[in-house]
Amino acid sequence: MSIEEKRDQLVEELVPFEDHLDRFAYVIDRAKDAPGLEDEYKIETFLIKGCISQLWIFPRFEGGKCYFQADSDASITKGTATLLCELYSGESPDEIISLEPDFLSEVGITQHLSPNRRNGLTGVREKIKSYAQHCLDIDK
């Protein structure tokens, strides 16, 4: 499945929720289903700055593709970060860098996040994009 198809699938899953509270309940449920990180990865290196919650993004690079896993002490934060990790995991660095996560505003997620949570989400995107750029630089 292409990154655009994954984005479209996420939109299809989130659009049916007319109420933002129902949408967040779905995001929280996804967070509960997502595996957490081992404590050894909950370190400063993987911590997202600017988020009021503790939020970590653990990246890895295998076979020319990037993979990401999120964990947080807050369910909404973990859920929204997990959506981005799912979108970008298994993609090439070029694809990751070129696709912005604007679908989150399309489905009404970013509009209902507190400013601190929006900062955290921006930090997640920056961390993912930065890691993809790092992988591109190493691969040259």
65-78 pLDDT tens trace: 999 999 999 999 99
**Structural domains for the chain:** 3-139 (3.90.1010.10)
140 pLDDT higher than 70: no
Q: What is the pTM of this model?
A: 0.91
pLDDT band with cut points at 50, 70 and 90 for residue 114: confident
Q: What is the DSSP string of 90-137?
A: TB-HHHHHH---THHHHTTSGGGS-HHHHHHHHHHHHHHHHHHHHHHH
Contact 116, 74 (CB under 8 A): no
- Using the Cα atoms of residue 110, residue 125, residue 121 and residue 73 in order, give the sign of their dihedral: positive
Q: Which amino acid is at 124?
A: V
Q: Residue 119, Cβ neighbours under 10 Å: how many? A: 16
51 against 10, higher pLDDT: 10
Query: In the prediction, which pLDDT does 106 show?
Result: 86
In this predicted structure, the answer to whether residue 89 has a pLDDT above a threshold of 90 is: yes
The whole-number pLDDT of residue 119 equals 84
